[in-house]
Every structure is written in structure tokens, then in C-alpha cells.
Amino acid sequence: MLPTRALHVVGANGVRLEADAYGDPGHPPVLLLHGGGQTRHSWGGTAAALAAAGFHAVSADLRGHGTSGWDPDGDYSLAAMRADLEVWCEVLGSPHVVGASMGGITGLWTEGNRAAEGLPPAARSLVLVDIAHRSEAAGVERIVAFMTGRPQGFASLEEAADAVAEYLPHRPRPTRLDGLARNLRLGDDGRYRWHWDPAFMSSDRRPRTSTHADLFAELTGRLRLPVMLVRGRMSDVVSEATAREFLDLVPHAEYVDVGDAHHMVAGDRNDAFSAPVIDFLRRR
């Protein structure tokens, strides 16, 4: 793994946002945004591949996730996340933005609203990873059930690994748990809990692609910057029909369907994911 450098910015409501940077800061910047409930470490393999390909890859923790700050008012609205993204884009100088799930929604919301407001894009291009204007309710409910299912936490890393293996039966159970440990925090009660603010899931300020498809379709149709949609062929969150709808809304978008990948495409098939994304970014 390539060495990393720590970066941070201050986002909406004074929340400190942490990131790891890979590669030469003089190279074209790429901002990687993880999905809800994940951390910046989910992008490790992709960030290293981007750096090796000549990019400056910055993998950031969303507000309330990983080592980024928790919002003092519990504000995890898309307005707050848009403000965070715009700060990163200003600091990095119009980066390419690669967003998975919640990270992708943040990019879509930001760029769609900026276009509606007559503002230029904040990003150089946008790669949406298994997220579009519409999400399958059953797939979203499965994710929510996993994220909220163990509020009491886990007695050990092994117990947490068992829960992940049950949630992701298509992946082999890891033999080493150091990677999993980075996604957990050890509480004063000696139990491990996921490294995100529980208020993130209780927020009622955030429109969702599973319930506000018309709103997101309108914003999607306004996208003018280069766009790529990457779908996991086995995804239960973005259907093939939704991907076709998305391409009708954004005729200039490119599309990749990654075989044998589920919703967390980069984690399932990092090699098959990274290669077309790097090719897309190079052509931008």
C-alpha cells in the first residue's frame, strides 16, 4: 500500500472533515466519497490504484463518519453535505468526484442544484457508484436494517466480523481483522460500535432516492459535467431498468456494469471497478 498523508478541511457547522491523500499533490485530484455507514478506508485499493495511475487521490470521511467530526446539531442533511463537498472542491481545485451510494448522492445533489442555480460545476467530473436517481426500496431497507440492527454493539472484533459475513455472504470472511477494526470504535463500556454518529440514521432532513425519485430525476437531468454511472450487476439497490432511465436523463453519461459485484462495487471487484474509472478520468 502506498504511503498516505493526512488532510482535513472544515465543513458546514464547523465540522472537521478528515481524509487520507495518496500520490503526488501536483497530479489531477480525485475526491473519493464513501457510502453511508462506511469510512474512507473502504477506498484503500482504489485510491492506491488511482495514485499509481498518476492521480492525486483523496479519500475523505463524510461528516459523522470515521474520524470526521459529528455535527453538534445532528445535521446530516444534503444541504450540509453539499457544503462539505463544495469546500473539498475549492481546496482541491475542482477534483474529479467518485461517490459510492451516499457519497454519490451528495455529488448528484450538489451538481444538480448548482446547475439549477446557474452555478458552474464544483467538480471536474462525477462518477456515481451504484447510485442513481432511484433506488430499490428493498435494497435500501436491507442496508438500513444492518446499520441499525446492533445498537448495543459487539463484544469483540470476531463478533463484528460474523455480522458482516452474514450481511455479505458472497464475500469470504476475512482472516485478518485489522481492516474491520478501522471501521469500528471501542466505547467506554468495552464494546465495539460502527464508526459513525447514530444521529446520521435518525436524520429526517435528508431526501432519499428510494422515496424522492422525482426530485432526484429532475436534478439528474440537469447534470452537464462529464458523468459515469457504475453499477454492480448483482446490486439490489440500482436495477438495470433504473440504469437505463438514468442514461435517458443524462444522454452524455458513460455506463459500466460490473459483473459479480453487488452494491459495494469497489469492495467486491476492485480490479474490474478501478480500470474503467481510471480510463474515464484519464479521458477527462
CATH number of 4-136+208-283: 3.40.50.1820
For residue range 106-149, list pLDDT tens digits in order: 999 999 999 999 999 999 999 999 999 999 999 999 998 998 88
- Cα 67 → chain centroid: 15
Report, as an integer, the average pLDDT of 241-257.
97
pLDDT of residue 12: 97
For residue range 256-272, list pLDDT tens digits in order: 999 888 988 987 688 88
Q: Tell whether pTM > 0.75.
A: yes
For residue range 14-43, list pLDDT tens digits in order: 999 999 999 999 999 999 999 999 999 999
pLDDT of residue 204: 65
Q: What's the rounded Cα separation, in Å, for the pair 126 and 209? A: 17
pLDDT surpasses 60 at 1: no
Residue ranges covered by each domain of the chain = 4-136+208-283
In single-letter form, the type of residue at position 237 comes to: V
For residue range 76-89, list pLDDT tens digits in order: 999 999 999 999 99
